[in-house]
């Protein structure tokens, strides 16, 4: 009787240890998977966590810099919150933008990427700064004159009735098809 109780206790203790070991291994795997994600996904997740918003609301994420320097320059947009996110008390687009601005001004926009602490700084959205002067490339007066002449001619073409008269098919007395005007 005592032997049976000891075996049952040893079996229960063994099952508890196996359960705890499997939980520990799963937790370690979850941590290592974070570092194998692409940097953009990690950034999106970390920014969402820091701002207390869903990571799916962050779009147009651009970043540049070196993780070894522990700073990245980022630019992103935040979508408006939907009904579920409003019910979860997530901040609105404007509130989240104010939080981002205040964190970036004080250099407290700190996230963890690949187990490194990284400070995010603001970068301006990329725009084309080169303005092309189209008149410089299309400065051929002869071509401009031809263009004006063609536009005037197409507008002022007379309507010729013979150009718009089409044949129709009809039946003759023997029920054969023949063209008619």
Contact between residue 85 and residue 92 where contact means Cβ atoms under 8 Å apart: no
Q: Which 8-state DSSP code applies to residue 73?
A: E
Predicted confidence (pLDDT) per residue in 35-47, tens digit: 678 888 888 999 9
CA-CA distance, 50 to 118, in Å (whole number)?
13
pLDDT band at 68 (very low <50, low <70, confident <90, very high): confident
pLDDT at 135 over 70: no
- pLDDT at res. 32: 45
Q: Residue ranges of the domains in the chain?
A: 24-122
- Which one is predicted more confidently, 13 or 153? 13
- C-alpha angle 151-153-155 in degrees, rounded to nearest 5: 70
CA-CA distance, 47 to 54, in Å (whole number)?
9
pLDDT band at 12 (very low <50, low <70, confident <90, very high): very high
Least confident stretch, 24-38, 83-97, 101-115, 157-171: 24-38
CA-CA distance, 71 to 123, in Å (whole number)?
12
- Starting at the edge strand found earlier in the chain, the sheet holding 58-66 runs 58-66, 71-78, 116-122, 110-113
pTM here? 0.51
Q: Hey, is 108 helix, strand or coil?
A: coil
């Amino acid at each position: 009787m005592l032997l049976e109780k000891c075996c049952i206790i040893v079996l229960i203790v063994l099952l508890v240890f196996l359960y705890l070991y499997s939980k520990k291994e799963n937790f370690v795997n979850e941590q290592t998977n974070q570092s194998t994600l692409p940097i953009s996904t990690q950034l999106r997740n970390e920014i969402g966590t820091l701002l207390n918003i869903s990571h799916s609301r962050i779009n147009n994420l651009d970043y540049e810099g070196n993780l070894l320097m522990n700073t990245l320059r980022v630019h992103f947009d935040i979508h408006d919150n939907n009904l579920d996110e409003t019910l979860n008390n997530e901040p609105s687009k404007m509130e989240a933008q104010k939080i981002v601005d205040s964190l970036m001004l004080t250099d407290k926009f700190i996230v963890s990427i690949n187990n490194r602490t990284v400070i995010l700084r603001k970068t301006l959205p990329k725009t084309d700064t080169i303005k092309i002067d189209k008149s410089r490339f299309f400065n051929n007066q002869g071509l401009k004159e031809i263009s004006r002449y063609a536009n005037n001619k197409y507008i002022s073409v007379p309507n010729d009735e013979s150009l718009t008269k089409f044949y129709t098919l009809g039946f003759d007395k023997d029920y054969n098809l023949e063209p008619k005007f």
